[in-house]
Structure 1
Amino acid sequence: MHCGVSFSRVMSLNAMLCIATLFLTLVSTHVEAQRAFFVFGDSLVDNGNNNYLITSARADRPPYGIDSPNGPTGRFSNGLNIPDLICEQIGTEPLLPILSPELTGERLLVGANFASAGVGVLNDTGIQFVNIIRIGRQLELFELYQQRLAALIGEEQAQSRVNGALVLITLGGNDFINNYFLLPITARRLQFPNLEDYVDYVVGEYKGVLNRLYELGARRVLVTGTGPIGCVPGELASQGSRNGECAPDPQRAGALFNPKLTQMIQNLNSEIGSDVFIASNTGGMLNNFLENPQAFGFETSKVACCGQGPYNGLGLCTVASNVCPDRNVYAFWDAFHPTERANRFIVQQMMIGSVDHMSPMNLSTILAVDAAKSP
């Protein structure tokens, strides 16, 4: 009778353990080799944080995600959004929302998405949505995330990973659409009857947000401007556009905001002494669709794919909405958000766009410059 384990069985188990250890090491090395990516901002870049909040600003039900194999995930899109597509370009796994219970262990090395639909630069923006992660809280969560990362890989490695990360922040649109222009009379319009004064105030507050990001270790930050907010289906409908003409006041707000934002970013980089912040002129990119949608293969840039009322721009995108059969020929998915195909054009311009769209350099140049600096 043989009561022990055979030598060959022991060798076989050891071999299996070695293979398993090697596999886990390779997986871990692959994750560590990826550049971390962090996302802050509003619904244009939220990938599901609001799913975990009691708020009306959410996209976790059909027909959102109609073209995604995962269905509705909290992305305000028919499919992928801008952060997803940047992940594709830089070779990073899709990010998890910071509130996701799955964001633990090795997944922390990939980065996180802190964005929350409805927020703005200002704390009072989006108060109608009640429970959202305002930008100050997003930055607090970033600080807490870094503590979790340090517990996993040590403080020095955690700081290095954050310093070497790519960061995307998208704010501003809601400060106009869901604050200043929300009603004919609003608190901010009474405070700033001159629109340009309000724009200056928002840009000044945004500078404080970016400074805090820098203090928290961000060293490569893509900062998007607002889109052509007077031309989105939601504004065309609410402002009573008759022939698709853009709403003049919101459009003027974006025209004032974007150049001032770019100038502020240039000044901030000068103060720091490095090109930390990159101005991404998404408004100019979307203007291309608006001016000549057919050149990009879109049938319309005025009517949303999902919605109701004029331009499909009223109310929410729900199962009761009109939904277009072919999302690829629409520039806008719902009243305010681009389709996945439009987002792909935007990210393409982020990658290779000229200085008119990406200042002082595009994402391809950033990746090349930073790769050359890596040891």
Structure 2
Amino acid sequence: MDCEAKLWLLVLFLFSSAMHCAIGEPQVPCIFIFGDSLSDNGNNNDLATDAKANYKPYGIDFPDGPTGRFTNGLTSVDIITDLLGFDHYIPPYANTKDSNIVEGVNYASGAAGIRNETGTHMGQDISMGLQLEHHKDIVSQISTKLGSDKVQQHLNKCLYYVNTGSNDYLNNYFLPQHYPTNGKYNTNQYAVALIQEHMTYLKALYELGARKFSLFGLSLIGCVPHGKNGSLCIEEQNTAALVFNNKLKAVVDRFNKELPDAKFIFINTAIITENSFKQDIKILTCCKVGSSGQCIPNEEPCLDRNLHPFFDEFHPSEMVNKVLANMAYDAPVPAFAYPMDISHLVKL
């Protein structure tokens, strides 16, 4: 094992050992989660799609086994939910029948993105636009429960966790055999188009009562193991992600000035995960994967899962999710979270 890989393992150990513990009442009354497979906890289970993870070995380290989470254990937003003091995880929109929706809902969907067509070559998914429609439904139900005079006051205090955009590249722009976007836009033009559409959804959430927004940037998507050999990263894809991130960070500045009483923060996922995503590809993945890059059903994964940055060829292991969640919640350096981290955002 080379020195860089050894450093990565040391960083993982230190961060996981120092994981925060929240005690007492939750720091926010509710969390609403928007995004893709990095946050999906079951919304895709009954959809006609290949993008689902409700089978072993996914969930091998999760108390309830496979749930639809695309990792071996907890997702980043699960861990942030713990850090915020909740004694349960936020339920998926697809399974809210017996849940307390007043405390939040998870709308995230594997393969989905900002654009409606993103990921559809794999089957059905729930795009950001459709996730917004689902949220309107939930807000209506919460209004019935709390009363129209109290619903806005309640929603103003919630955390809105938004982690989307990766699939608009990996399952759209960089798949020209399925989508025309690569031929219609250069990298900068595509980022502009994505951000403009994303802004309409964020503004719509604001109009529905959202005030505390945590916007996650893209990781180094050019270094995910799928389709790679050795330690190769595709710099064109990494550059595209960084262009998107810079524009998303600019949205934070703009909306903090333009939208009264709102507070937006940007989580710099690319910097936080840079060391883990640039290791030797041979040691990255843990489960045996098929042509899709997802785990083959019922195949035994590796035993040393804490030493593998990725569980399958697209999705981080729980250990990396712990690092990202802890750094997003309580950033040790300003570069990780702008203009503040989640722990400070929720206190506003």
Please give the range of the TM-score, normalised by the shorter of the 2 chains. 0.7 to 0.9
What is the CA–CA distance in structure 2 between the aligned matches of 1:127 and 1:184, rounded to whole Å? 13
How far is 1:261 from its partner?
1.1
What is the CA–CA distance in structure 2 between the aligned matches of 1:215 and 1:363, rounded to whole Å? 22
Name 2:75's counterpart in structure 1.
81
How far is 1:158 from its partner?
2.1
CA contact (8 A) 2:34 2:108 kept: yes
Question: Residues 170-190 of structure 1: CA distance to partner in whole angstroms, max 9, x if unpaired?
Answer: 111000000010246741012
2:249 maps to which of 244, 251, 262: 262
CA contact (8 A) 1:167 1:221 kept: yes
Name 1:339's counterpart in structure 2.
317
Name 1:97's counterpart in structure 2.
92
Name 2:5's counterpart in structure 1.
none
| Structure 2: segments with no counterpart, 5+ residues | 1-23
2:16 pairs with 1:39:
no
Name 1:17's counterpart in structure 2.
none
What is the CA–CA distance in structure 2 between the aligned matches of 1:87 and 1:228, rounded to whole Å? 24
SS in 2 for 1:263: helix
Name 1:351's counterpart in structure 2.
329
What is the CA–CA distance in structure 2 between the aligned matches of 1:184 and 1:195, rounded to whole Å? 17
1:63 maps to which of 45, 57, 64: 57
1:248 maps to which of 215, 222, 235: 235
How far is 1:339 from its partner?
0.8
Question: Residues 244-297 of structure 1: CA distance to partner in whole angstroms, max 9, x if unpaired?
Answer: 120122111112111111112211221125552111111111103235x6xxxx
CA contact (8 A) 1:76 1:337 kept: yes
CA contact (8 A) 1:305 1:322 kept: no
Q: Which has the higher contact order (CA 8 A, sep 6+)?
A: 2
TM-score computed with the length of structure 2 as normaliser: 0.86
What is the CA–CA distance in structure 2 between the aligned matches of 1:127 and 1:244, rounded to whole Å? 29
1:328 maps to which of 284, 306, 311: 306
Name 1:164's counterpart in structure 2.
157
How far is 1:33 from its partner?
8.3
Letter in structure 2 aligned against 1:99: A
SS in 1 for 2:193: helix
Per the alignment, do residues 301 and 43 of structure 1 end up closer, same or farther by CA in structure 2, a change over 3 Å counting? farther
What is the CA–CA distance in structure 1 between the aligned matches of 2:201 and 2:120, rounded to whole Å? 19
What is the CA–CA distance in structure 2 between the aligned matches of 1:149 and 1:228, rounded to whole Å? 37
Name 1:11's counterpart in structure 2.
none
Please list, as runs of the form range in 1=range in 2, the aligned pairs for 1:187-198 lying within 5 A after superposition: 187-192=180-185, 194-198=186-190
Question: Residues 52-87 of structure 1: CA distance to partner in whole angstroms, max 9, x if unpaired?
Answer: 322221110111001112010000110110121111
1:360 maps to which of 315, 335, 339: 339
SS in 2 for 1:39: strand
Letter in structure 1 aligned against 2:255: L
Per the alignment, do residues 185 and 100 of structure 1 end up closer, same or farther by CA in structure 2, a change over 3 Å counting? closer
Per the alignment, do residues 301 and 79 of structure 1 end up closer, same or farther by CA in structure 2, a change over 3 Å counting? farther
Q: If you compute each CA radius of gyration, which structure gives the higher value, 1 or 2? A: 1
How far is 1:314 from its partner?
5.5
TM-score computed with the length of structure 1 as normaliser: 0.80
CA contact (8 A) 1:41 1:170 kept: yes
SS in 2 for 1:257: helix
C-alpha RMSD of matched pairs (Å)? 2.2
CA contact (8 A) 1:78 1:333 kept: yes
Letter in structure 1 aligned against 2:339: P
What is the CA–CA distance in structure 1 between the aligned matches of 2:288 and 2:261, rounded to whole Å? 44
SS in 2 for 1:356: helix
| Structure 1: segments with no counterpart, 5+ residues | 1-29, 294-298, 371-375
1:220 maps to which of 169, 192, 212: 212
What is the CA–CA distance in structure 2 between the aligned matches of 1:275 and 1:155, rounded to whole Å? 21
Letter in structure 1 aligned against 2:343: S
CA contact (8 A) 1:116 1:133 kept: yes
CA contact (8 A) 1:149 1:158 kept: yes
SS in 2 for 1:323: coil
SS in 1 for 2:315: coil
Per the alignment, do residues 356 and 34 of structure 1 end up closer, same or farther by CA in structure 2, a change over 3 Å counting? closer
CA contact (8 A) 1:97 1:103 kept: no
How far is 1:322 from its partner?
6.3
Per the alignment, do residues 277 and 140 of structure 1 end up closer, same or farther by CA in structure 2, a change over 3 Å counting? same
Identity %: 34
How far is 1:321 from its partner?
4.9
Question: Residues 284-318 of structure 1: CA distance to partner in whole angstroms, max 9, x if unpaired?
Answer: 11103235x6xxxxx97852111348xxx853212
2:298 pairs with 1:317:
no
Letter in structure 1 aligned against 2:95: S
Name 2:269's counterpart in structure 1.
282
Number of residues paired by the alignment? 323
How far is 1:31 from its partner?
8.5
What is the CA–CA distance in structure 2 between the aligned matches of 1:69 and 1:32, rounded to whole Å? 21
